[in-house]
Chains A and B, each alone.
Chain A
């Protein structure tokens, strides 16, 4: 009956919302307020006016019981197949737009604070992209999904904090509802109790009128009721619901347990008269065929009064009726069934598992799959549960399940059959690449020609990750892509992109990545995750020296996943952080990686997904001069090393080298970069070898020149020949050559290397007595380093110390200024203590000081004076 009450005292509110709906952007309003203040009534009046004006209006609602169902509020427009979240979101928004058929579309979202996260995301997307006008109600003081609070926090919609009625407005309402004058005493006492809360007033009036205490006497409405204490809103509502007959309350309970309930389903569960009475009392309300409780409080009150057995029974009744219909959301049905008193139905539960997983609600998928498994541990159900456990990095639990299946049971249609699942589970969560290899080889030996293509593909994935690029390509040469499903295509192309990039065949890598993008584009309904294609593609381009192109690929990936939930967005952001580091934008790289760390939220630690990003983060911190944070990140990276991720081993060693360099351990840094180069070389990762040798040259190591010249003939792209010229210039202490190399690095986009080469040019010029050239190159190095966000490196530090030290003397003087003992310095530089003492003596003599502490103080002072960051 709430709806039947007139709307009074809201004229200005309606006008403001009407004005807001007329806006091109920010079209709509969030109506916030406490329970019972009249939010929904106001929103419905807005909707009525919009319909009168020719708009198409669609209403959805968050519900307390519906919150557990991902995408529950929009289930009507969602696909019942296990499509990806992106596809589902697009489908829902497109479906709504199609229904509007060119007219203006208003989406009314009631109780948005109890929307499930994905439904909330769709509302956010509609407001963000102006796909529809949105009017949403939220109850104040209740937590809401981030996507809902962002509606007003990010200024996508205005927010109206709806206030209770004023005294005169309350009086007007009473007069209108009761259809005659109201005694001053009655109006005053009702105002004192209700404080302008419309729902409170409504139930108080209806209850007191039914009991006869509120009656029309002598030309006015008088109230004989005298509540001894002020009842709460809930008590007033409870009191009034208590007056209706049991059959009507049963209708409210059935709706509350699974709202919105389809009218047809409700019709099979309750007497038509009881449904009609519930509707007449305002205890339930229908929008089209969707029936909700008349006010969220009714549901909360009724369900809180039902015991667990009754709740299970109610769910069972609704679920049984739903199962008879075709057009129900399988996830809602599955969840109701799961929590009902009905015996487990494997088909219903299993169908819900797939939907829950594709909507990224893995804990719910696990609950459903576990229930299905408990009822019927068939091979198919076992595989389904094992897959859900694998996705949640519960490797041992998945392996225990898979271990119960024999060879034939492990075989299943599609790429993710038991063998591939078991191998992937061993490869990632269980960190056992060797056992994974054995599982695949055993399956291959069975000789099933059709299955061999997917088995070879997963073998290739393992090989690419094991830093075996040549083997990866060879394995994939045996694969007929036509025999793979879409997911198989994606993984095959991903493995080839990594391997070809490592081999220095950047054009082939780009071609494979493009093929993968095409498959993703052609399968918009695909529920499988993107393994990081943009990242692999961008890395290949970066390693080859196509820095701007790499950045462009990563940026595109970021845009693609910007508005999506889940890990894909974080992985795309990480790839963008990688290319930011590659072009020397340390601030952006740090920002992206911090965002990624928050986005992963601990996920990926077990399976190693986060390991490679942690390596990158360490290097960014070290190059930014944050040596303490870099050391901590380095330690965390070491602790999370993952045996499967061998293909990033050279990156790990290079990040460690930069951490050593950040605390002036240049010898150690050179040694680590040499080890990185050696690892890459021994594994045929030629492009990575180029990067490692270039880094060694940045540390002043001249030994890579010859190998880089050879690599320049093997690795495509501009980096290898430039790095070869770089190493040659370093080897020859060729200031002019380093100047040129610096400019070429800058043109290529690798500004960090350009800064280091310029700094080394400055030092070389100074050693050659070319003071002017030294100053010019030094200024250019500083300027480039600043452009990178105040990058630090041994080369930059050396260029800033004008003392005529040899490289070794400079290194030792810097270590000494860091407070290291001669013994520590000897260890760090792999020299004898006597040799270290000799270098300190020589350096002191050149600097004109006589003691060790004076030399230390001088180096520190010069460092501070010359550092643009510390001044």
Chain B
């Protein structure tokens, strides 16, 4: 992933479903996985896939041309 303008990054994050943007923000802030699962009301076994999905969606959002 290329270095991204912070505004573009923030805009891309905001374009994601709430659970995905929240998972990425909390994970980047160093919050423990089980605490994030508690916030998101998901089972711990689903966290890895959720994070994977959130990152992929973020990459897609970042790769879209800004309008």
Interface residues of A (CB under 8 A from B): 11-13, 15-16, 29, 32, 152-153, 155, 158-161, 163-166, 168-169, 196
Contacts and interface: CB of A to CB of B under 8 A. Distances in A.
Contact of A160 (B16, B17, B49, B60): B49
A375 to B, nearest CB: 47
Contact of B50 (A11, A29, A155, A160): A160
A13 B17 contact: no
Contacts of A163: 17-20
A153 B46 CA distance: 10
A16 B48 contact: no
11 contacts: A12-B57, A12-B60, A16-B53, A152-B43, A152-B45, A159-B49, A160-B49, A161-B43, A163-B18, A166-B18, A169-B17
Helix, strand, loop or mixed for chain B's interface?
Answer: helix
Nearest to B40: A161
Nearest to A159: B46
Nearest to A158: B49
B53 A13 contact: yes
B17 A155 contact: no
Given A159-B45, A159-B46, A161-B50, 11 more contacts: A15-B56, A153-B45, A159-B43, A159-B49, A160-B53, A161-B46, A163-B18, A166-B15, A166-B18, A168-B15, A196-B17
Contacts of A169: 17
Nearest to A154: B45
A155 B23 CA distance: 21
Contacts of B46: 32, 152, 159-161
Contacts of A16: 49, 52-53, 56
Contacts of A166: 15-18
Contacts of B40: 161
Given A152-B43, A161-B46, A12 B53 contact: yes
Contacts of A153: 45
The 3 closest A-B pairs by CB, nearest first: A12-B56, A159-B46, A163-B17
B35 interface: no
B42 interface: yes
Contacts of B42: 32, 161
A79 to B, nearest CB: 35
Contacts of B48: 158
Nearest to A165: B17
A600 B53 CA distance: 42
Contacts of B60: 11-12
B49 A155 contact: no
A708 B50 CA distance: 68
B17 to A, nearest CB: 4
Contacts of B53: 12-13, 16, 160
Interface in B1-58: 15-20, 40, 42-43, 45-46, 48-50, 52-53, 56-57
A13 B16 CA distance: 13
Contacts of A159: 43, 45-46, 49
Nearest to B20: A163
A11 B42 CA distance: 21
Contact of A161 (B15, B16, B49, B57): B49
A763 B42 CA distance: 62
| Most A C-beta atoms less than 10 A away, residue of B43, B46, B53 | B46
A166 B48 CA distance: 20
A149 to B, nearest CB: 9
Nearest to B48: A158
Nearest to B55: A12
A558 B8 CA distance: 59
Contacts of A168: 15
